[in-house]
C-alpha cells in the first residue's frame, strides 16, 4: 500500500515510534509551564471502578480488597485489580490501531504484534505529556446539553467553537472536545452505552494542519459511533489519527468542571502508567490554570 495522502510518515525518520510527541521540545514545555496564573488544578479523570465509564463492549474493571489484622499489631489492606488496559481515563498508544496491514510509519503489523504485546508504537513510548491544553466546548456552542449519538464533530464545528471562545490552536497542543455525552452516564446509561458523538476520519487534514498532538473527549472512544455493537467494526478516526498521523487519543475524560468554569486554555500535564509493550494505559490528566 502507498503512503497515506495525509500523514506524518517519515516526518521524524522511518524509525520513529513517538509520532506527534516529537513536537514537545524543551521550549514548548517551558512555554506551557508559564501559563498558570491562579494555581487552580482540575482533575480530568473519571472514577476507575466496575461501574465507571468505559467502552460498552469491554470487560468491566474488577477489584477485590484483601486484608490482615493483628489485634496486637499492624493491620494492612491491599487491592487486586483486573481490567482492560483501556479502562477509565486512558491514552491509546499509536500502535493500537492499523489498517491494511500497516501501522504508524509503515510498519507491518505481523512483525510487531503478538499476544505478548506490541513492539511498535507502544504506550510506554509516551512517558509524559506537558504542553498547552485547549478545550473546545462544542455542545455549549451548539446550545445543547449533549450532541446526538453518532453525530459527527466536523472541522467547521471545531473552528466555530474556537472562534466563539476566542481560542486558537498552536502546534503541539492537546485538544479536548466536549460533546456533553458524559452528562447522560448516570441518567441514561443504555443510551450512553449505545454509541457516541465525535469526529470521524475526515478530520485528518484539519489535525495535520493544526499539528495537534493528541485528541481527547468525554466519550469512551473519542470518535463518532452510530451504534454499539458496531456492525462495520471500523473506527476510522483511530486509524487516521494513530496510524497515519501519530496523533494520540485520550478517552473517557471528565470535562464538566472546565465547562462550568469556562476554562478553555490551560497547562496540560499527564503521564500514563509505564505499562511496557502495551496498546494503551490509564492516566490522570490535570489541567492547571
- Region 190-216: mean pLDDT is 96
pLDDT tens-place string over residues 41-62: 999 999 998 888 888 777 778 8
Q: Is the pLDDT higher at 50 or at 239?
A: 239
CB contact set of 104 (below 8 Å; sequence gap of 6+): 9, 17, 19, 94, 95, 98, 120, 121, 242, 243, 244, 246
| Nine-digit cell string for 190 | 443504555
CB contact set of 112 (below 8 Å; sequence gap of 6+): 95, 103, 118, 119, 120, 121
| 238 and 225 Cβ atoms separated by less than 8 Å | no
Distance between first and last Cα of the chain: 45
Task: Answer whether residue 152 is part of any domain.
Answer: yes
Q: Is the peptide bond before 33 cis (omega within 30 degrees of 0)?
A: no
- What CATH number should be reported for the domain holding residue 33? 3.50.30.50
* Count of domains for the chain: 1
pLDDT band at 202 (very low <50, low <70, confident <90, very high): very high
Give the residue numbers spanning the domain of 25. Answer: 19-46+85-288
Task: Answer whether residue 5 is part of any domain.
Answer: no
- Region 272-279: mean pLDDT is 97
Task: Answer whether residue 61 is part of any domain.
Answer: no
| Nine-digit cell string for 47 | 472514577
Task: Answer whether residue 32 is part of any domain.
Answer: yes
Specify the pLDDT at position 55. 80
Task: Answer whether residue 62 is part of any domain.
Answer: no
Specify the pLDDT at position 3. 81
pLDDT tens-place string over residues 216-225: 999 999 999 9
d(CA 30, CA 23): 13
Using CA atoms, how far residue 172 sits from 25, 72, 177, 207, 211, in Å, is 9, 56, 16, 11, 6
User: Is the model's pLDDT at 121 over the cut of 60?
Assistant: yes
- Proportion of the chain above pLDDT 90, given as a percent: 89
Task: Answer whether residue 194 is part of any domain.
Answer: yes
Task: Answer whether residue 160 is part of any domain.
Answer: yes
pLDDT tens-place string over residues 82-102: 988 999 999 999 999 999 999
Q: How does strand 248-251 pair with strand 90-92?
A: antiparallel
pLDDT tens-place string over residues 130-180: 999 999 999 999 999 999 999 999 999 999 999 999 999 999 999 999 999
d(CA 247, CA 153): 17
Specify the pLDDT at position 2. 66
Task: Answer whether residue 140 is part of any domain.
Answer: yes
Q: Edge-to-edge strands of the sheet including 280-282? A: 41-43, 286-288, 265-270, 129-137, 174-178, 214-217, 248-251, 90-92, 280-282
User: Is the model's pLDDT at 1 over the cut of 70?
Assistant: no
Amino acid at each position: 500500500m502507498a503512503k497515506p495522502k495525509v500523514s506524518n510518515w517519515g516526518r521524524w525518520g522511518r524509525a520513529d515510534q513517538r509520532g506527534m510527541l516529537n513536537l514537545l521540545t524543551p521550549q514548548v514545555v517551558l512555554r506551557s509551564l508559564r501559563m498558570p496564573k491562579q494555581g487552580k488544578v482540575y482533575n480530568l479523570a473519571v472514577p476507575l471502578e466496575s461501574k465507571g465509564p468505559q467502552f460498552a463492549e469491554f470487560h468491566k474493571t474488577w477489584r477485590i480488597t484483601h486484608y490482615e489484622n493483628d489485634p496486637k499489631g499492624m493491620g494492612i489492606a491491599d487491592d487486586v485489580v483486573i481490567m482492560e488496559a483501556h479502562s477509565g481515563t486512558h491514552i491509546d498508544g499509536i500502535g493500537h490501531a492499523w489498517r491494511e496491514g500497516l501501522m504508524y510509519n509503515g510498519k507491518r503489523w505481523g512483525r510487531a504484534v503478538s499476544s505478548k504485546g506490541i513492539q511498535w508504537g507502544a504506550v510506554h513510548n509516551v512517558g509524559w505529556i506537558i504542553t498547552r491544553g485547549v478545550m473546545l466546548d462544542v455542545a455549549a456552542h451548539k446550545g445543547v446539553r449533549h450532541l446526538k449519538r453518532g453525530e459527527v464533530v466536523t472541522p467547521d464545528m471545531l473552528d466555530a467553537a474556537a472562534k466563539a471562545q476566542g481560542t486558537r490552536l498552536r502546534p503541539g497542543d492537546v485538544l479536548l472536545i466536549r460533546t456533553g455525552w458524559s452528562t447522560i452516564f448516570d441518567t441514561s446509561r443504555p443510551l450512553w452505552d449505545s454509541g457516541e458523538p465525535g469526529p470521524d476520519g475526515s478530520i485528518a487534514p484539519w489535525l495535520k494542519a493544526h499539528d495537534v498532538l493528541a485528541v481527547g473527549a468525554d466519550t469512551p472512544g473519542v470518535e463518532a459511533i452510530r451504534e454499539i455493537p458496531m456492525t462495520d467494526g471500523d473506527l476510522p478516526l483511530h486509524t487516521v489519527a494513530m496510524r497515519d498521523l501519530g496523533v494520540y487519543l485520550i478517552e473517557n475524560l471528565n470535562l464538566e468542571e472546565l465547562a462550568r468554569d469556562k476554562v478553555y486554555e490551560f497547562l496540560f500535564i499527564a503521564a500514563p502508567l509505564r505499562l511496557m509493550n502495551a496498546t494503551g494505559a490509564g492516566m490522570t490528566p490535570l489541567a492547571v490554570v
